[in-house]
Chains A and B, each alone.
Chain A
Amino acid sequence: MKDLILRNRYTLLIVTLVVYMSVLVAEGMVTGREVRAIEFENPYFDMNFNELEKFRERRSNDDDDDIRARFDDAGDV
């Protein structure tokens, strides 16, 4: 096992990154870590990066509705 990990620099890098990612993912799953989105407070406008995700979902739903509506309008082909 040790020989395999230390065979060359690439195997060592991959093993290190796998261990690193595994620890992070395991810890994230256990603690249910969520991103602390950046909120930029100022007197001129509101900006919250959490809202971008909602916007994307809403946009995606709207697009689906548009496609469905266009398909219905086309009738039988």
Chain B
Amino acid sequence: MDKFAVLQFYGLLKREVLEHKNLFIGAPTVVALLILVATTWVATQIDQNQLAEGLRYVSILFDGLSPFDMAPFFMLVAIPFYLTLYVCSVIYLINTLYQDRKEMSILFWQSMPVSNFQTVLSKIVAIVLVAPIFYVLIIFAMYLIAMVWLTILGISNDVDLVGIGWMFLAAIASLVLIYISAFVTSLWLLPSIGWLLLFSAFAKKTPLLWAGGVFILVGFLEDFVFGTQYLANWVASRTSDPNQYLIFEFQSVFERIFNYDTLFGIVVGSILIAGAVFMRRFTD
């Protein structure tokens, strides 16, 4: 890949981030602030002696243990961020190609030396690889503030926080898990990403309604035409168990990515993404 193509792609990614600052940066910042405010409020409601005892217990809990073994503890803190990322991703994917046509900026971008494939790929990379980076950075900032706050609390309550360094290392290790987990989830849900992009490129109005309505219609059609329910079965088998894509240990990363279900999902998602790329031809 030549340098110009890399710069082109970087420009496309930068455009996505600048145009969707609220989804990439604003939303996780609000969640982090809410968590910090809620935690502070809870800490003010607890008796000082109990708080000191709790600090001592948490500090001892992490002392001397491998940060990689303790990292899954911090995955619980990431759950609100995951939910926010999913909601923001759906909003972003269903609107992104539709918005281009609505405000006619598609004509400008098609006059640029970038192909429709590059444009759609930049939107997928933005949500699969770039958005989780911002989320992880904001979680890191939240952890830093929390560690400083814990240290101040420990000093003011005369508690020896022996394991706070280990706790911080576990929190850092969890950031890697959170990022990989978000990436694997995106690969697992690539058919959903492709579906939303296809209808974002297709619909003249209300793309979310089209995406939902056609999904239900296709399910009924399969039942009528083939007399089978493989579509419904497939969707149910991919959404009913979050353990299929959330990662709680580093050892399971390889098997989560390179298994039949994930790879088949990537193939199916690619069909829908190809449809979205070709759909960009119709600019009206």
Contacts and interface: CB of A to CB of B under 8 A. Distances in A.
Contact of A35 (B214, B229, B268, B281): B229
Interface stretch (A25-33, A59-67, A69-77): A25-33
If over half of B's interface residues share one DSSP class (helix, strand or loop), that class is named, otherwise mixed; here it is: helix
B234 A24 contact: yes
Interface string A48-59: 000000000000
Contact of A34 (B198, B221, B233, B272): B233
A35 B218 contact: no
Contact of A36 (B202, B236, B272, B282): B236
Interface in B252-273: 264, 267-268, 271-272
A36 B214 CA distance: 23
A47 interface: no
A33 B230 contact: yes
B275 A16 contact: yes
A interface bracket (residues with beta carbon within 8 Å of B): 20 to 34
Interface in A1-55: 6, 8-9, 12-13, 15-17, 19-21, 23-25, 27-29, 33-38
Point out which of A16, A23, A28, A36 has the most chain B C-beta atoms below 10 A from its C-beta. Answer: A16
Contact of B198 (A8, A16, A23, A24): A16
Given A36-B240, A36-B241, A21 B222 contact: yes
Contact of B264 (A6, A13, A19, A27): A27
A16 B228 contact: no
Contacts of A12: 275, 278-279, 282
Interface in B196-249: 198, 202, 214, 218, 221-222, 226, 228-234, 236-237, 240-241
Contact of B234 (A6, A19, A28): A28
B275 A24 contact: no
A1 B233 CA distance: 32
Interface string B172-213: 000000000000000000000000001000100000000000
Contacts of B218: 17, 21
Given A9-B202, A24-B234, A27-B264, 20 more contacts: A9-B282, A12-B279, A12-B282, A13-B198, A13-B279, A16-B271, A17-B214, A17-B218, A21-B218, A23-B267, A25-B226, A27-B230, A28-B230, A28-B234, A33-B230, A33-B237, A34-B233, A35-B232, A35-B236, A36-B236
20 contacts: A12-B278, A12-B279, A15-B275, A16-B271, A16-B272, A21-B218, A21-B231, A23-B268, A24-B231, A25-B228, A25-B230, A25-B231, A27-B264, A28-B228, A29-B228, A33-B237, A34-B233, A35-B229, A35-B232, A38-B236
